[in-house]
Amino acid sequence: MIDLKKKRITVTGGKGFLGTQLIRKLKEERHCLEVFIADQPEYDLREIQSVRKLYEEQRPDIVIHLAAVVGGIGANRENPGRFFYDNLMMGVQLMHEAYLRKVEKFVAIGTICAYPKFTPVPFMEKDLWNGYPEETNAPYGLAKKMLLVQSQAYRQQYGFNSIFLLPVNLYGPGDNFDPSSSHVIPALIKKVVDAMGGKEAVRRRMSSNTATHQKDRPITVWGTGNASREFLYVEDAAEGISLATEMYDRPDPVNLGAGFEIKIRDLVALIVKITGFNGSVEWDASKPDGQPRRMLDTSRAEIEFAFKAKSMFEAGLKKTIIWYVEN
């Protein structure tokens, strides 16, 4: 077990959705000696000179690599080359330079997109190599998966302490609501809020808790609604990463999830219920569903470093919606 109170920690992607939560946890709850952020524009992690500058200036004992170029199904379809190159170059160079500089521990954050398209549910870490990822996000998923290969190879040859974590889709206050790059929950929330007349209209309706006779504009959702997803509240994800950083030291990948799945159709119904949306929902089956089902087996994380998600999904979803309409 590592005592984080005595460690200098660099978090790549530290200004992002998960990064801000993780840094708060490291500072306020783990009381780390020093916590540094490594983000653009100060550090372009695709460039080796910038990676070396980071290590020379921050001199971390531990690196937690969250940074990623990522988006939803649409963004993945439009940017397969960029998503592959940027994510691969960031991770490979960061880990290699960490090894050269004798960094004490490297925590690589992967993605559920690394799993094969038709993985038995719940996804178990042993099934990670039993097929090709779902096509729309395969370049991103495979780029991140190479960090697992590098992590295991460097541990085997050099004794380098690197671990690989596989978080499921995250959600929560502070999420990315930009429709060009957001994931499914913020994308759906924004779509519903816009159809209801904007944030102020939704805020009034949610606070008064009264029905309106005026029909909201219809929304169109990609796919059939039959695909399922699992979602992990961002604060739970930050706790899981913190615990793994402290306690886990093995080559095997570890899932981080909440251990449940919900169909996209039911997710939309839940957002409709919380917001009071009263328009129609139309499904565009010409657009892809993505991976048919996603749900993780989370037993390894509980056994290895006592991580179990605590947040209830509907409560977390409501907090996310409230944050969005109030900010």
Give pLDDT, residue 212.
67
DSSP 3-state helix, strand, coil percentages of the chain (rounded to 5)? Answer: 45, 15, 40
Which DSSP category does 122 fall into?
A: S
Give pLDDT, residue 207.
84
Give pLDDT, residue 117.
92
Write the pLDDT tens digit of every residue in 172-227.
Answer: 999 999 988 888 999 999 999 999 999 998 998 888 766 666 899 999 999 999 99
Give which of 44, 25, 244 is closest to 151, Cα–Cα: 244
Rg (CA), the chain: 20
Rounded Cα distance, 27 and 37, in Å: 12
Domains and CATH numbers, the chain: 4-172+230-260+293-310 (3.40.50.720)
Q: Among all residues, which ones are annotated catalytic?
A: 140
Give which of 95, 13, 28 is closest to 62, Cα–Cα: 95
Rounded Cα distance, 93 and 85, in Å: 12
Give pLDDT, residue 211.
63
**Cβ proximity of 90 and 145 under 8 Å:** no
Instruction: List the chain residues with pLDDT less than 70.
Output: 209-213
Q: How far apart are the first and last CA of the chain?
A: 39
- Within 10 A of 285 (CB to CB), how many other CB atoms are there? 11
**Cβ proximity of 61 and 104 under 8 Å:** yes
Give pLDDT, residue 249.
97
CA within 13 Å, CB half, 244: 32
Distance of CA 97 to the CA centre of its chain: 24
For residue 31, give the amino acid letter.
Answer: H
Tokens at residue 227, please?
């695909």
Mean residue pLDDT across the chain = 95
